[in-house]
């Protein structure tokens, strides 16, 4: 099963402007500004992002979603995903890491590029809401990020200006990825962090994303925030984007039901037709739906019989999977995944379960199906079915 949610709030913290709020900016940014000397006045930016885990926690409690604390192959896994809007002047190699934030913060309503008129008539930035120095705004609340005497099990760091967030450290409290001249989209395995929120009782204040080695607990990694190397600028779509590329927390877990009963197998070496039985074509955004996938021979052998061959349900190979694309853009929403997008089967035939609240409303999506004869390690035959298996999600 594959399920994802969008972020509740996010913002970028800019070290070179300690009180600037960017809470409703359409872009999240990892940048580094270095002075001409290359050794002093280095300014970084960091990303804060929070997801509401209420429904996921309830689903784990009632057993609908397996707990992330279970053994591999059984547990749910979580990935933090951000889509790149722009990447400029990148180094050949660089790293990013994520930690669970240890202090509360307020998103605010500012943008990096927005300026407003102050009471004295000058142009100033929005300063209410989270920033590099303040957790909730400069004037109205004035609570600052800790910079010394951190709470037990937490830390923080900065290069030039005090602040920049605080986070939990130690085993299971971090996610790291090294980039080596490859796709710049963020996809971090944050299963252990989500497990800490759900089972270890630390409050969910979201993730902080920053360059590699930005904490003393990073071992031998290079501190990419504090050295004099310019690693370029990375910009990502935020939760306030007007595109379909909002940040997502993806939860996926193994689909284990495959009971064929008295059904006969479909021979995919022959010419076959796949279709979705009783596809209503439109579904409510908050519903949970089961799509029945039916396969039959395109040219069945002619025989004298009392019923139509088209009514005979046959089961697909056990190594059959689905993917979902945005019908307009072709963007992959749910990728083929051998662990979590398996087409399941019961005595009535094959099916796919989908939770529709993970899709944007008023958009059309389509299924792709991959059928493999034999095993994944030694496939005998593989077929992709890409027809008009479409549906629309409605409000």
251-286 pLDDT, tens digit per residue, is 999 987 899 988 999 988 888 889 999 899 999 999
Q: Which residues contact 227 (CB under 8 A, 6 or more apart)?
A: none
Do the Cβ atoms of 66 and 253 come closer than 8 Å?
yes
Tell me the C-alpha to C-alpha distance, in Å, between residue 322 and each of 215, 293, 340, 351. Answer: 41, 10, 9, 10
pLDDT in tens, 177-206: 999 877 899 999 999 999 999 987 799 999
9-23, 74-88, 118-132 — which is least confidently predicted? 118-132
Q: Residue 113: which pLDDT band, with cuts at 50, 70 and 90?
A: confident
Q: Residue 37: which pLDDT band, with cuts at 50, 70 and 90?
A: low
pLDDT at residue 217 tops 50: no
Query: What percent of the chain clears pLDDT 70, i.e. is strictly above it?
Result: 90
Q: Which two tokens stand for residue 276?
A: 């979705």
pLDDT at residue 108 tops 80: yes
Question: How confident is the model at residue 270, as a pLDDT?
Answer: 86
Q: Please state, as a whole number, how many other Cβ atoms lie within 10 Å of the Cβ of residue 286.
A: 11
pLDDT at residue 392 tops 60: yes
Q: Residue 116: which pLDDT band, with cuts at 50, 70 and 90?
A: low
Query: What percent of the chain clears pLDDT 90, i.e. is strictly above it?
Result: 73
Region 212-223: what's the mean pLDDT? 65
pLDDT at residue 308 tops 90: no
Region 349-361: what's the mean pLDDT? 95
User: Does an H or E element contain 338, and which?
Assistant: none
The SS3 assignment for 119 reads: coil
**83 or 271, higher pLDDT:** 83
Question: How confident is the model at residue 304, as a pLDDT?
Answer: 62
| Residue that the structure tokens 């992002």 belong to | 49
Q: What is the DSSP letter of 198?
A: H
pLDDT at residue 221 tops 80: no
Question: How confident is the model at residue 311, as a pLDDT?
Answer: 63
Q: Which residues contact 218 (CB under 8 A, 6 or more apart)?
A: 97, 174, 212
pTM score, whole prediction: 0.90
Closest CA relative to residue 355, chosen from 296, 295, 287: 287
Region 351-370: what's the mean pLDDT? 96
Closest CA relative to residue 334, chosen from 362, 363, 367: 367
């Amino acid at each position: 099963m594959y399920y994802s949610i969008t972020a509740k709030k996010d913002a970028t913290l800019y070290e070179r402007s300690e009180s600037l709020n960017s809470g409703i900016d359409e872009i999240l940014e990892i940048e580094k500004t270095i002075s001409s000397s290359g050794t002093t006045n280095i300014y970084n930016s960091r990303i804060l992002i929070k997801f509401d885990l209420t429904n996921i926690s309830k689903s784990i409690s009632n057993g609908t979603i397996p707990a992330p604390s279970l053994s591999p192959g059984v547990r749910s896994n979580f990935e933090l995903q951000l889509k790149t809007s722009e990447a400029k002047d990148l180094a050949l190699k660089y790293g990013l890491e994520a930690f669970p934030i240890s202090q509360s913060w307020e998103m605010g309503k500012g943008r990096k590029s927005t300026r407003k008129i102050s009471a004295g008539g000058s142009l100033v930035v929005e300063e209410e809401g989270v920033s590099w120095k303040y957790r909730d705004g400069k004037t109205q609340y004035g609570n600052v990020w800790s910079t010394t005497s951190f709470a037990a099990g937490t830390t923080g760091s900065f290069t030039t200006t005090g602040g920049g967030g605080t986070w939990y450290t130690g085993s299971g409290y971090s996610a790291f990825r090294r980039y080596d001249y490859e796709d710049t989209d963020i996809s971090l395995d944050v299963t252990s962090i989500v497990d800490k929120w759900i089972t270890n009782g630390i409050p969910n204040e979201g993730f902080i994303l920053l360059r590699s080695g930005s904490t003393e607990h990073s071992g031998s990694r290079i501190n990419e925030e504090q050295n004099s190397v310019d690693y370029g600028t990375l910009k990502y779509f935020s939760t306030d984007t007007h595109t379909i590329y909002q940040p997502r927390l993806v939860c996926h877990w193994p689909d284990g039901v495959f009971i064929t009963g008295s059904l006969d197998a479909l021979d995919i070496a022959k010419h076959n037709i796949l279709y979705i039985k009783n596809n209503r074509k439109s579904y409510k955004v908050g519903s949970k739906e089961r799509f029945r996938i039916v396969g039959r021979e395109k040219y069945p052998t002619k025989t004298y019989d009392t019923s139509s061959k088209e009514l005979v349900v046959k089961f697909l190979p056990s190594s059959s999977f689905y993917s979902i694309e945005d019908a307009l853009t072709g963007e992959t929403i749910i990728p083929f995944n051998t662990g979590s997008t398996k087409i399941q089967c019961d005595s009535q035939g094959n099916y796919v379960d989908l939770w529709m609240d993970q899709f944007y409303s008023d958009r059309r999506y389509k299924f792709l199906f991959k059928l493999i004869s034999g095993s994944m390690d030694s496939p005998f035959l593989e077929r992709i079915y890409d027809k008009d298996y479409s549906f629309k999600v409605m409000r």
